[in-house]
Chains A and B, each alone.
Chain A
């Protein structure tokens, strides 16, 4: 059973305090696609992401990962297939050392000690941080923390990577490293970001959210160069595209 597909059908979500965060969303993301989700603050991006992991269950409508609908029964299983990278790495790295953090997932999945060691090494190599293995998590730079957070998720072998604002807190160099890293992954990727340039580089497809509704859904290149659509959603042209305009 393939878990690489995410399908939302007329999805609604209301917070317990009555805030309507998601108001009827439908989309289908297929195997290997990388999708950027953009929108101004409060558009419902984080809420949507938390549903993909089963932390918030749909108030109505349905969300399917592969063929499995997200619900109370399936959510634990779904979390193995959907790797969620949190916005703040300090929330994600809760163990004393990098090794423990990355081993946390695989150990919970019941891997043997040898497998865990191998898995940790592989994930760290993938993000280029093998030398950080025995360091305490809180002494890392933010770029390193971000890379290790991603390694934590990779070590569980997810089918779908979901990231909330991966480039926040990062300086230019670390951001560049991150973009190169993301480009390498063949997973289905869903990236929420204010960093439209990052989306433009990493994602083929882009979804614009506003007030919990989809405003636009299509090729990232097309959507992110449409100044009108972006303006209506309180967004600005990506910097790389702005420069081209000036040159013209």
Chain B
């Protein structure tokens, strides 16, 4: 009954990685969460035609992958899996926005293409950071951090239950589909009515299951409140990690990072 055929974005594998023991893994989940959020916000806040300044931000995912001893291939593969989403989002930019702004070897590059690339780079940066966060903190760790950061419990619990049961639900979907396939004798059978039936079955099973889970919670003294009890300590290292990295992201944002670095490298000072 084990469920290996597909895990959603292979969240499970990322979770396995989070049980490593490196400097990054040992950082308090709150610190990692905050740093990742600040990183994502800064990256997103860049203007839509910005490309060159964004490149320097790759240092952060690369730094984490190296420090946390993560297999870069795995992260890159995950990014590819979800990339159609980003490719679709910006797909109309080059068509709508046709003002030529740079000409390279006679080839006019329109601002539409520039903003499209900008979106893709931002996407890669933010998504890889998200994956790395899970791979270094674990999902439960992130939930714990959210709870300690005073995010309303309802949201945290929702996340927790989704994470816990998405695998179980996936398994149920696979089983139902297989049962249907075994009895459809080669016919396609993905008609709407059948899909409807399958969804109906899944819904009923889910309701049944939630009933049983609720009973299980009650039988362990549940009265409407869930305590997450883990103790975590926010150490000086965690504080420094948060402050240094956040400061770096923000400074780079406002002093157009790559420009400054470029000037420094060329020995012109800044």
What residues make up the interface of A, taking CB atoms closer than 8 Å to B?
50, 53, 55, 76, 79-80, 82-84, 86, 88, 90-92, 94-97, 99-100, 103-105, 107-109, 113, 116, 134, 136-139, 141-142, 152-153, 156, 169
Contacts and interface: CB of A to CB of B under 8 A. Distances in A.
A242 to B, nearest CB: 28
Given A53-B219, A94-B213, A138-B167, A169 B1 contact: yes
B220 interface: yes
B221 A108 contact: yes
Interface in B203-247: 209, 212-213, 215-223, 225-231
Contact of B12 (A116, A139, A141): A139
A53 to B, nearest CB: 6
B51 to A, nearest CB: 39
A138 B212 contact: no
A16 to B, nearest CB: 13
Nearest to A102: B220
Nearest to A169: B1
Given A86-B216, A105-B220, A108-B220, A91 B209 contact: yes
Given A90-B168, A91-B212, A138-B168, A99 B219 contact: no
B216 A96 contact: no
Chain B binding site: helix, strand, loop or mixed by DSSP?
Answer: helix
Given A94-B217, A104-B220, A134 B19 contact: yes
12 contacts: A55-B218, A79-B221, A80-B221, A82-B219, A86-B212, A103-B227, A104-B222, A108-B223, A109-B221, A136-B15, A138-B164, A152-B220
B219 A84 contact: yes
**Interface size, B (range):** 35 or more
Nearest to A107: B227
Contacts of B160: 95-96
A74 B188 CA distance: 54
A107 B243 CA distance: 34
Given A91-B213, A94-B165, A156-B221, 10 more contacts: A55-B218, A79-B221, A91-B215, A95-B160, A108-B225, A136-B138, A141-B2, A142-B1, A153-B220, A169-B1
Nearest to A114: B231
A96 B219 contact: no
A156 B220 CA distance: 7
A94 B219 CA distance: 13
Interface string B27-63: 0000000000000000000000000000000000000
Nearest to A140: B2
A53 B228 CA distance: 25
B123 interface: no
A97 B229 CA distance: 12
Contact of B216 (A94, A134, A139, A169): A94
Contact of B163 (A53, A96, A169): A96
